Structures are given as C-alpha cells and as structure tokens.
A and B are shown apart, each in its own frame.
Chain A
Amino acid sequence: MQDEVGSRWSDEAELVRRAQAGDETAFGMLIDRHQGIALRTATLMAGNASDAEDATQTAFAKAFFALGRFRPGAPFRPWLLRIVVNEARNQRRSGARRASLALRAFEAGRATDVSAPSAERTLLERERAHSLVDALNELPDRERDVLACRYLLGLTEQETATTLKLRLATVRSRRTRALKRRRTQLGADDD
C-alpha cells in the first residue's frame, strides 16, 4: 500500500515536472487525475454547477501558466485546489451570490424498491441530510469553507490550510467553532 502511494506520488511529481517543462500531455493527465475533486471544490465554493464548471476550467488554465511558481516536491493537489478556490470565489463574487449546498435529486427507487421500514429509514436519513445542509448553509462562509474542505472533500488539515490559504491553527479554530455552533443547533443527538 505504502509502495502504491509512493509510486503514485512520484508518478505525479514526474507529471508535474514534465508539465513544468511545457509538456501539455503531462498536464492533460494531471487534469484527468484531479478534475473530479477540482469540480467538487469549485461547486462547494461557487455554489452552482455552471459557475463551478467555468471556475474549474479557468483554474486549470491558470495553473498551467503558474506552474513555474510551483515548488518542486510540494504536494500538487492543495496547490491546484487553492487556485480553484480563488477562481470559484471570484465567480461567486462576480455573480453577487452566496454559495449554498444542495442535495442531489432524490432517487425515488431507493425508497420504494425496498421494504417499508427501510423506505422509512431512507426518508428519515434524507430529512436529516436536509437539516445538515441547511445548517451548513447558515454558517459564515469562512467556517463553512473549512468544514467543506475537511469533511465534504476529505482533505487533511494541512491540505485545507494550503487550499484556503490559512494557517493550520486558524483551520483548527474555525473547524472547532463551526462544529460547536452546529452541534448546538442540531441538538443533542449529534454526539
């Protein structure tokens, strides 16, 4: 496993090195590798799919021209996501919108094809997910962004700090504050 991670890492470092030397095919492979998380990040920060797609494309193009500034050996993903976040925030500002999360369309089959108690449970879970999304949407942007990176994107604290251009201590304090706030709002069943 360690070898696999190590190999993937060195493989990525090699792709970045080639892209820095102007190899567009290598950069294309980096796009393929990171487009999923880049698009999810942009969606969480911009708040809607159309802005997120524009922001992701522009961010990749900007990343290409900024590769000269990328420090060899540093992790590529948070560096890229930082550009994506900036671009998505620009889109959000230019549209004078506030980002809000949304659940994906309800798949009715998931509730009706199964037995009644399970269907009930699915609906209940759905209801709880809605409450959580509403609660997240009410958070100040800076706290919500930290929770989004940590839990919805699954980034580490260090990656979150780099992505949001924050100090590690700030990431921790915002996360703690936001969780405390949500816990109070969502009731005692959270812990």
Chain B
Amino acid sequence: MTELERRLEALASELAYPQADLRLRPRVRSLIVEQRQRRRRRRRGLLLALAFSAALLATVLAVPQARSALGRLLDVGAERVQVVKRVRPASQRLVPPGELVSLAAAQRRAGFRILLLRRASPPAAAYLAETESGALVTVVYQPRRPIWLSEFRAHGLAPVASKQTEQYSSVQLLSLNGRPAIWLGKAHLFSYLDSSGERLVAHLRLAAKTLVWQRPPLTLRLEGRLSQAQALRLARRVH
C-alpha cells in the first residue's frame, strides 16, 4: 500500500458525516407503509386498466375498421402483447432465455414458489433469467415435443415481457379461472426487460403458440405446439 493510499484511509475518520440516526428504523417503517398503500392503489388502478384494456381489445378485434385506429396494446400481468405492422426478424430459439439450472436451484433463486403441471411427468429442464421484475423461470416438459411453462412475478404497472404479433386474428382474449387470459395462435416475437429494467435485452426469439394468464402475483405463459383447448386444459392443471 502506498503512502497516498494510507492517507486516504486515514482521511475516512476526518470526514464530516451526519450522525447515524437512531430513529432511522421508524422513519423507514413509515416510508414502507406509505409505499405499500401507494402500490395497493396502483394495483387497483392496474386491475381497472386491465379490465378496460380487455374490453377495448375485444371491441377492436370485433370491428375490422377500428383495428388500425385504436391502440394495439394489451397487458396481462407483467406481460404486454403488442400488435404491430411488421415483427422484427429474429431467430427461432430452441432454448428458453436464461441459464439452465436444476429445478431446486431455480426454486432457491426465484423468490416465489414455482408452480408445476400436476399429473405430468417430471420437468425435463428448468431455466432461470434475471428480469427487471425478478426471476423469469421456465420449466420445460416433454423434451421431444417441448412445452414451456414460464413464470414471473408482476410488480407495478410496467410490463416485464412483451410479445409482438402481426395478425390480429391470432390474438384471442379468453378467461381462465375467472381472470383474463390471452391466446396467441401464431409465432410471435418475445422479449423481456433485463434486471436493470433499462432496456430490452437481446433475448428475442420467435415463440410458438402461447397462452398467457395471471395467477397473482405471478404471470404465467404456456408455450408449445398446442391447440388452444389443449393449452387451456394444461393451464388448469398448473399448481
């Protein structure tokens, strides 16, 4: 260590710092209570906005002339579906985003209880990716004809993952266990926000047919070569 480094270390005790406030704990506590209330209000707003979006989308899909004139976004939980004129080209990825981990490791790092398909053979693999909202876990079933069950936690209003599709007819609004769900019947672009929440990461890929639904606090996606009826049947077995 040089003399300059020693002097810098010695300087630490000479600097002016505020006194460590012994009342910090109650002040933080009141901030937490305040933020909880704000989040609750925001969540209520989100539910209202979701109901409104669902109604709006249903209208848009029903009236061809209105399609191009109205907004083209629908959020389900932390996932946003966007209908665009042209989907950016992307490679068909054969593996889910994130790193391959054991199911136990995914469970340790996810920060929520991972839901699984009941009455199914054990998962073949699990992948874990960091997103702005926390872990995005994808459990893979049937390696020969894969079905991906992806799960992530929804926080606040901002969508974490997004899908882009060109065809309105491929988007269907459904209901699953009394909550809105979306069926995407065509390949579409899938992307998500990284852990810094600052940008869309390069994990873009064309996804297969997908069902997106909510089971608060989680947003779930089921993806694979499935018919809508098959996807809905499987989704009801997720616990």
Whether both chains belong to one complex is answered with yes
Residues of chain A touching chain B, judged by Cβ–Cβ distance below 8 Å, are: 20, 24, 28, 31-32, 35-36, 39-40, 43-44, 49, 52-53, 56-58, 60-61, 64-65, 68-72, 101-105, 128-129, 132-133, 147, 151-154, 179, 182-183, 186, 189-191
Please state if A103 and B14 are interface contacts (CB–CB under 8 Å): yes
Contact, CB under 8 Å: B15 / A103? yes
Contacts of A186 in B (CB 8 A): 4
Known interface pairs A58-B31, A61-B35. Does A190 touch B3 (Cβ–Cβ under 8 Å)? yes
Say how far B42's CB is from chain A's closest CB, in angstroms. Answer: 12
A-B contact pairs, 19 of them (CB 8 A): A28-B25, A28-B29, A31-B25, A39-B20, A43-B15, A52-B18, A61-B28, A61-B32, A69-B134, A70-B111, A102-B15, A103-B15, A133-B15, A147-B8, A151-B9, A152-B15, A154-B9, A179-B4, A183-B4
Does chain A have a CB within 8 A of B24? yes
| B31 and A57 contact, CB distance less than 8 A | yes
A24 (CB) vs chain B CBs: closest residue: B29
Q: Mark B150-180, 1 if CB is under 8 A from A, else 0.
A: 0001000000000000000000000000000
User: A182–B4 contact, CB under 8 A?
Assistant: yes
Residues of B contacting A128 in the complex (Cβ-Cβ under 8 angstroms): 7
Given contacts A28-B25, A65-B35, contact A190 B15 (CB under 8 A): no
**Residue of A with least CB distance to B31:** A61
| Neighbouring B residues of A153 by C-beta, 8 Å | 12
Residues of A close to B17: CB separation below 8 A = 39-40, 43, 49, 52, 104
Cβ contact within 8 Å between B14 and A129: yes
| Residues of B near any A CB (own CB < 8 A) | 2-5, 7-9, 11-12, 14-18, 20-21, 24-25, 27-29, 31-32, 35, 39, 108-109, 111-112, 134-135, 153, 195
7 further interface pairs, Cβ-Cβ under 8 Å (given A32-B25, A151-B9, A152-B9): A52-B18, A57-B24, A128-B7, A129-B11, A154-B9, A190-B7, A191-B2
Interface of A is mostly: helix
Which chain A residues lie closer than 8 Å to B25 at the CB level? Answer: 28, 31-32
Q: Which residue of chain A lies nearest to B12 when distances are taken between CB atoms in the complex?
A: A152
- A191 adjacent to B14 (CB under 8 Å): no
Residues of B contacting A61 in the complex (Cβ-Cβ under 8 angstroms): 28, 31-32, 35
User: Measured between alpha carbons, how far is A65 from B40 in the docked complex, in Å?
Assistant: 13
Q: A49 to chain B: which residues have CB within 8 Å?
A: 16-18
Report yes or no: B16 in contact with A102, Cβ–Cβ below 8 A: yes
Q: Which residues of A contact B195 (CB under 8 A)?
A: 69
Structural contact, A64 and B2, CB atoms closer than 8 A: no
Contacts of A71 in B (CB 8 A): 109
